[in-house]
Structure 1
């Protein structure tokens, strides 16, 4: 048979009602071999209710000794995608619990799973000493199994209304890429001509990075009015830069009036130094929005009064999925107001309230309100002043957020107690967590065992572990490094920079990650590693130097700490 001729699998061959997807996914392990030069067979064992995805007859198995298993041809990769699609759409116990994926969703997930696992396995193959591709193929199958289980347990996504324009028409009209400058009336007429072309299909405009004065705003407003019923996404971030306050507010009012009644899904009015006056300048626009799915208010001077104006003006956030308040002067009082908005946003998936001067009281209010948002997938609360009490309050909410994939909690003054409360909650709840960030929280070696337990519990899903600027020292880092010796099929980055690490900790950590398939970077910059230790680490990464981050901030003469502690760390390394 020709290399790319692989028989198609008929879905009717699978006894779907009797198939258990959990068993099917876990069946794909080291002994399951993807066809190389022979026919592939798919069957169901009714007694065990298991789907054997890759099966080879004895002749094929004997031939494996004389053929290369990697890389699979493009044709075989496509067959693999088709089979994953079938498995993801077969009714099972899990699909009854989490919902059955549509064929379109399953195809999308199957392509993503195959591409991710192929990349990881191919990187591994390039480092294989034997070069026959056997271990690369096993990794390909095993990691696919893990990602398939994640896709099944995530269940079907919430359907979104998507407007697709003909391929020969643009959808996004973007003037943000040009030179950052004031726009006058003549330039506005010239720039906005495409929006006036009959039959244009623009559904999104981006006027960011251009500063509109009154005359230019009048031109733009008249153009925008003609697009009612067509635009669904509007980006007006940073569009009055350098204008006097009175002029800027008047420009905002013009745009607001022009866009009143537009049925928007996406609105970005970031970087406009709004304050309460600016928010209310957009009152006509905001008060006509009941179907927003994404709202961005970053770097807008959102104080307590401005936050009240936002909550007051927007009639409904029932459909809101993304809400960003980064870099505002929100403070505790503003956070309490925002918490009321969160309680009215039941399907929120992505919330960012970083660098907003929020302390313990506001942190507790936000934490309790987020319990309403049980579908949250991404949470970013970095660079606030929560403290331990707010951290513990947040941990109670995190235990309810089973869909979390990314959580950023750096520089919140959590200390050991707050940090451990959070990782313990994440250990039990966030089964799909990919990114965890706890930088700058005064975490010491005393919390390392708790961190290590969490890391191991989430080893199948974690992609990035970011723990920079803490106080783990060698003792804590060695404990974490021991945990990292386990298999982490998706891990690409570990950041333990600025943690007072010396030679012993750096070596053990480097050894723990250097051989991981798909791993990309270890950051241990800004530590106290001796010159000899730096050479040790570089030697460990000699075959993959790009995986070791820069060491230009390393301080071999770094701050002294108890010699007995350092001796103990050396002993722990030897154990």
Structure 2
């Protein structure tokens, strides 16, 4: 990397620590392809004692850079909030799963206990869900309260994989005496359709602690809406149900009136 590039990167990384245990690279428009490209980010992570939140939004992270960043996260056991939306701009879809796998494995090595995971606005499709499936099933996410996956193109297949992972996480965490208690679920604009929504409804019914669910623009019609309505009956703390731009029809509307 040329000296002028290093200087620009140093300027871009300035003032990344925003207090409250948070390290933010949000909106820095960093193009991190290699481990060398990520040196500044890695240095900041390594030097941040008690790191609780890491923001990587608005950058583009390649497979090799993700592996290098992951290495730095392996001893960050205090990490609780991963704000990782829009961090693969311009990447091939095939690059995203291995990058997510590396980052997830690092969190598992660290023994972190997440309360928030935001992977919104990353167009990873069903294969991308495979990239963080193991993470969701691990103790790292048994403490998860907010899961945000808006506009990821998961489709029906991704919705089913996600639902199965949440069910497995709930089963495993329950066996340890502290069931997964997810409060917020966000998955708008994912083309989940009826089958994806129905699979997730099964997970929602089992979890039973949801307070907010946002699933607009998913191509869900009466059958999926019915499954969600039935699942929400088992979530007595639910306050916000955002299902805009799906097709209820009069049958679905009547179901919601009875909730």
Counterpart for residue 46 of structure 2: 343
Gaps of 5+ in 2: 171-178
Tell me which residue corresponds to 2:228. Answer: 509
Per the alignment, residue 9 of structure 2 pairs with 307
Structure 1 SS opposite 2:98: helix
State which structure, 1 or 2, has the greater radius of gyration over its C-alpha atoms: 1
User: TM-score, normalising length from structure 2?
Assistant: 0.78
Instruction: Give the C-alpha shift of residue 436 in structure 1.
Output: 1.2
Does the alignment pair 1:427 with 2:137? yes
Could you tell me how far 1:344 is from its partner in structure 2? 2.7
Cα distance change, pair 526–336 in 1 and its aligned pair in 2 (3 A): farther
How far apart are the structure 2 equivalents of 1:420 and 1:540?
A: 36
CA distance in 2, matches of 1:441, 1:467: 8
Q: How many residues are paired up?
A: 234
Change (3 A) 1:306 1:320: farther
Matched, 1:403 2:121: no
Q: Is the 8 A contact 1:388 1:415 kept in 2?
A: no
Distance apart, 1:498 and its partner CA: 1.7
CA contact (8 A) 1:481 1:509 kept: yes
Matched, 1:455 2:136: no
Distance in 2 (alpha carbons) for counterparts of 1:420 and 1:410: 15
- 1:23-42 counterparts in 2 under 5 A? none
8 Å CA contact 1:498, 1:526 repeated in 2 = yes
- In the TM superposition, what is the alpha-carbon distance from 1:353 to its structure 2 partner? 1.5
Q: Secondary structure at the match of 1:486?
A: helix
Per-residue Cα deviation, 1:298-323 (whole angstroms, up to 9, x for no partner): xxxxx864432477x89xx9x99321
- TM-score, with length taken from structure 1: 0.37
Q: State the match for 1:108 in structure 2.
A: none
Aligned partners of 1:468 and 1:437: how far apart in 2?
9
Preserved CA contact (<8 Å) 2:121 2:150: yes
1:76-475 map, 5 Å: 305-309=7-11, 321-332=21-32, 335-385=38-88, 387-400=96-109, 401-430=111-140, 431-456=142-167, 457-458=169-170, 460-475=180-195
Q: Return closer, same or farther for 1:516/1:343 CA change in 2, 3 Å cut-off.
A: same
SS of corresponding position for 1:420: helix
Please name the residue that 2:218 is paired with.
499
Offset of residue 534 of structure 1: 4.5
User: Residues 427 and 309 (structure 1 numbering): CA distance in 2 closer, same or farther, change over 3 Å?
Assistant: same
**CA–CA distance in 2 between the matches of 1:356 and 1:336?**
15
Unaligned runs of 5+ in 1: 1-302, 542-575
1:540 aligns with: 258
**Cα distance, 1:512 vs structure 2:** 0.8
- What value does the CA root-mean-square deviation take over the aligned residues? 2.9
What is the Cα deviation at residue 518 of structure 1?
1.2
Q: CA, structure 1 residues 309+465, in 2 after alignment: closer, same or farther (shift >3 Å)?
A: same
Q: Distance in 2 between matches of 1:329 and 1:487?
A: 37
Structure having greater relative contact order (Cα 8 Å, sep ≥ 6): 2
